[in-house]
Amino acid sequence: FSSEELTQAYLQRIEQYNTRLGCFITVDPERSLSQARAADIRLARGEGGPLLGIPVAHKDIFCTEGWLTTCGSRMLSNFVAPYDAHVIQRFKEAGSVILGKTNMDEFAMGSSNETSFYGPVHNPWQLTHVPGGSSGGSAAAVAARLAPLATATDTGGSIRQPAAFCGISGLKPTYGRVSRYGMIAFASSLDQGGLMAPSAADLAWSLGTLTGFDERDATSVARPEEDFGAQLEHSLEGLRIGLPRQYFGSGIAPGVAQAVEEALRVYESRGARLVEVDLPHSELSVPVYYVLAPAEASSNLSRYDGVRYGWRASQYGDLNEMIARSRAEGFGAEVKLRILTGAYVLSQGYYDAYYLQAQRVRRLIQQDFLQAFEQCDVLMGPTTPSTAFRFGDKGSDPVQMYLSDIFTIGVNLAGLPGMSIPVGFDGQGLPVGLQLIGPHFSEARLLAVAHGYQ
């Protein structure tokens, strides 16, 4: 079948299910279909490439030329991007079709998609439950088969946690692997673009499209090109799987613990060896993250001033009031909380006590991981302490919400690659995710290890 037929089939599913699920903020069927027809011409000419003609959903954090790009915020509810993010540009060159822009927590701040200006996304497995966040739209779209593949970003877990909650596979690459150019900034030292798909094999075949050096991102890393798809088949014989003691303590829902134990037994039965390792500073990762990420966010989000683009208040006296009102109206409560926290920890008198201290502990957390990798090839544990929760369950207490990222945040602080793969269900029929963490630039290995289970 043609790319046009494939795209049409997905657009039909989106039309049928999106009102109930809320996965997409923007779809533009005519534009998608014309891209599909262009891909069909390339296919007819005998051109190849794994993504040629494949429709892909993009998180609404990636600037997409000519498309509304909102980042889930009222602040950007009128922003049509004048250029493509590096990631979007790469997908276009590969001949993939833009299926639409997916819903997300406002400015990627959240773990449940409840902070989006465009309303919540529903978990396809149980509509009363959240899909996770911040990439909830991408995760739910892939899980409900409204898209075969989706882009997403992960600053503290936003690819892995929603992938776990929705029962799909998600990969957060090593920091620097994927250019952040045109990816709307939240916390620049932690943000990393990545992918969501049903399986690790899908991720492996697509990853090469995203990776590679880009001079427009100062933290982009130049590495030799890798064929991730070709390295998928690898024996698990002798693989050393490290189990961080701190990821298996109390506080893990029984259904999650059981599914993860069973997955580990599968790995053992295929020749892997389990070793216990220590990440002594891991309990500090949430407090460190919630100093550093808001600090960076308060700086990054100062660009939204109502002057150049984005939301502008309609009534104001002088310039200062225009800026203040535009920001008061344009940002939601969680974003304001982060900006205030960030400005506080960066302010004179508090900088040393909070920001600088957090930077020091960040280094210790990174060293913990590097030491653990002296004893094992890959770390495994639950992606999240519980499965998807109900809407409103954690909304009233930000700390409860923040704790749902307790196992994912360390990976961002250390800049490591991490994955979540589905390993079954809890007693309530909600999916459980297994997290895989590898040393820097070990994506090929991680994908192969994930594929070895699937």
- Catalytic positions are 59, 134, 158
**Quick one: which H or E segment has residue 454?**
none
CA distances from 435 to 212, 277, 359, 438 (A): 24, 15, 25, 10
Structure tokens that stand for 347 in this block = 């302010």
Is the CB of residue 134 less than 8 Å from the CB of residue 20? Answer: no
Binding test (CB under 6 A) with ligand GLN, winner from 18, 70, 123, 134: 134
Does 326 sit behind a cis peptide bond, omega within 30 degrees of 0 on the bond before it? Answer: no
For residues 45-80, one letter each, b for 16 or more C-beta atoms within 10 angstroms of the residue's C-beta and e for the rest, the string is: eeeebbbbbbbbbbbbbbbbeebbbbbbbbbbbebe
Count of chain residues binding ligand GLN (CB under 6 A): 13
Binding test (CB under 6 A) with ligand GLN, winner from 108, 291, 295, 358: 108
* ∠ CA 33-37-39, rounded to 5°: 115
Is 99 or 403 the residue whose CB approaches ligand GLN more closely?
Answer: 403
Q: At what angle do helices 254-269 and 443-453 cross, to 10 degrees?
A: 100
Q: Which of residues 162-191 bind ligand GLN (CB under 6 A)?
A: 186
Side-chain-side CA neighbours of residue 248 (13 Å): 17
Binding test (CB under 6 A) with ligand GLN, winner from 72, 100, 110, 433: 110
Binding of ligand GLN at residue 155 (CB under 6 A)? yes
Binding test (CB under 6 A) with ligand GLN, winner from 293, 413, 414, 449: 293
Strands 24-26 and 169-172: unpaired
Separation between Cα atoms, residue 453 and residue 253, nearest integer Å: 22
Q: Closest distance between ligand GLN and the C-beta of residue 318, in Å?
A: 34
Stretch that binds ligand GLN, among 12-20, 106-114, 223-231, 431-439 (CB under 6 A): 106-114
Q: Closest distance between ligand GLN and the C-beta of residue 294, in Å?
A: 9
Is 241 or 406 the residue whose CB approaches ligand GLN more closely?
Answer: 406
Stretch that binds ligand GLN, among 5-13, 64-72, 122-130, 155-163 (CB under 6 A): 155-163
Binding test (CB under 6 A) with ligand GLN, winner from 35, 69, 70, 111: 111
Separation between Cα atoms, residue 425 and residue 178, nearest integer Å: 32
Binding test (CB under 6 A) with ligand GLN, winner from 22, 124, 148, 156: 156
Binding test (CB under 6 A) with ligand GLN, winner from 202, 405, 426, 443: 405
Binding of ligand GLN at residue 211 (CB under 6 A)? no
Phi first, then psi: what are they for 23, rounded to 5°? Answer: -70, -35
Binding of ligand GLN at residue 194 (CB under 6 A)? no
Residues that bind ligand GLN (CB under 6 A): 108-111, 134, 154-158, 186, 293, 405
